Amino acid sequence: MDDALTRLAQLTRVHPRLDLLCRFADSWALPHDPEPDGAAPFHIVSRGSCTLELPDQRRSLALVAGDVVVLPHGARHTMRSDTALPHHAGPIVLTESHNGAVTVRTNADGQDASCEVICGHFRFEQARSNPLLAALPDALHLAAGRDAALARLGLLVEAVRAELQEARPGAASIAANLASALFTMIIRAHMDQANELRGILALLGNPTTGRAVVRMLEEPARPWTLEELADASHTSRAGLVRAFRKQADVAPLGLLAQLRFQAAAQLLTSTELPVSEVGVRVGYQAEEAFSRAFKRHFGVAPSEFRHAAI
């Protein structure tokens, strides 16, 4: 499963961006509007505690130092102190400065900050057809400080904080790369902790369907038949189809097509390979057939897709 997760993370093409280092004192609240498709805000609590409210879901999450929360689908939310602002309170006064690595936002005004939060975004390529993104819930909350199994996640959080705090040369680049690794660790922890998985993560978590998905990820260009995938999964063709439908409401060969197009999109945007070679690498021997199928999936021809990404 770990190798499959590595490949899936590579196909997902996540670009982290660290926006703010927020330092707060007293009572405070900051609302965040919904994000566009493909933009997933995240918050890392590096000191103190706070609350994340999800008004559309009518729930809130209590966060403490070491916790990470990601909103994969850009949900509207509010970050606030544990004690809510009085109804008559006006907007909080914030000052901003850049420390050489990140913008620092604060209302402390010379006071010691009781809460510190690192805020950023993960940007997903091809968000509308991304099987990993589709499998994620509205909110991913990892309580690194409360679970010994997530000790390494806590160390990574502290490393990000230290880079932004010290603001030494190269700190912004180092912190962003650490955040990219953090995303994969968050997905792995979600698979370990979640009571219920969905989509491709549910398929990977099931022994029968997981074998088939691993084989697809290992050899996306192979002309897989349903019978070959069923044999690899130690089940019948009908059994494999039923298992895929039950776990993720998708057909095995339908998922294979999604993974192939995800791989093709990655090759088009990250290499200069000819369109014909990209097609071969994802299982299409004829360029014309690949271009037609790609356009049906993404709405544009491969060459247009590549040009738009430049």
Considering the chain, what percentage of its residues have pLDDT values greater than 70? 94
Q: What is the largest CA-CA distance in the chain?
A: 68
Query: Model confidence over 97-156: pLDDT tens digits?
Result: 999 989 999 998 777 889 999 999 999 877 777 888 889 999 999 886 555 556 677 778
Q: For residue 298, what are the contacts with CB-CB under 8 A and spacing of at least 6?
A: 126, 129, 261, 265, 305
Q: Which residue has the higher pLDDT, 228 or 270?
A: 228
Give the span between the Cα atoms of 268 and 257, in whole angstroms: 16
Mean pLDDT of the 75-99 span: 82
The one-letter amino acid code at 270 reads S
Comparing CA positions, the residue from 247, 296, 306, 231 lying closest to residue 275 is 306
Mean pLDDT of the 157-177 span: 88
Give the span between the Cα atoms of 74 and 169, in whole angstroms: 31
Question: Which CATH architecture group holds 2-194?
Answer: Sandwich (2.60)
**Tokens matching residue 65:** 């130092």
What was the pLDDT predicted at 148?
57
Mean pLDDT of the 53-71 span: 93
Mean pLDDT of the 54-66 span: 93
What was the pLDDT predicted at 308?
81
Name the pLDDT band for 310 (thresholds 50, 70, 90): low
What is the sign of the dihedral through the CA atoms of 148, 152, 157 and 158? positive
Considering the chain, what percentage of its residues have pLDDT values greater than 90? 56
Answer yes or no: is pLDDT of 300 > 70: yes
Q: What ranges do the domains of the chain cover?
A: 2-194, 200-309
Name the pLDDT band for 24 (thresholds 50, 70, 90): very high
State the SS3 of the chain. Answer: CHHHHHHHHHHHCEEEEEEEEEEECCCCEEEECCCCCCEEEEEEEEECEEEEEECCCCEEEEEECCEEEECCCCCCEEEECCCCCCCCCCCCCCEEEECCCCEEEECCCCCCCCEEEEEEEEEECCHHHCHHHHCCCCCEEEEHHHCHHHHHHHHHHHHHHHHHHHCCCCHHHHHHHHHHHHHHHHHHHHHHHCCCCCHHHHHHHCHHHHHHHHHHHHCCCCCCCHHHHHHHCCCCHHHHHHHHHHHHCCCHHHHHHHHHHHHHHHHHHHCCCCHHHHHHHCCCCCHHHHHHHHHHHHCCCHHHHHHHHC
pTM value is: 0.84
Domain 2-194 identical in fold to domain 200-309: no
Average pLDDT value over all residues in the chain: 88
Answer yes or no: is pLDDT of 85 > 80: no
Answer yes or no: is pLDDT of 242 > 70: yes
CA distances from 42 to 164, 186, 224 (A): 16, 11, 38
What was the pLDDT predicted at 182?
84
Comparing CA positions, the residue from 187, 50, 194 lying closest to residue 132 is 187
Q: For residue 274, what are the contacts with CB-CB under 8 A and spacing of at least 6?
A: none
**Tokens matching residue 58:** 């009518």
Answer yes or no: is pLDDT of 1 > 60: no
Instruction: Pick 200-309's CATH classification: 1.10.10.60, 1.10.238.10, 1.50.10.10, 3.40.50.970.
Output: 1.10.10.60
Most confident range, picked from 7-21, 114-128, 202-216:
202-216
Query: Model confidence over 181-206: pLDDT tens digits?
Result: 888 888 888 888 888 899 999 999 89
Answer yes or no: is pLDDT of 236 > 90: yes
The one-letter amino acid code at 263 reads A
287 within 8 A of 276, measured Cβ to Cβ = yes
Q: How far apart are the first and last CA of the chain?
A: 33
Answer yes or no: is pLDDT of 6 > 90: no
Comparing CA positions, the residue from 177, 212, 50 lying closest to residue 117 is 50
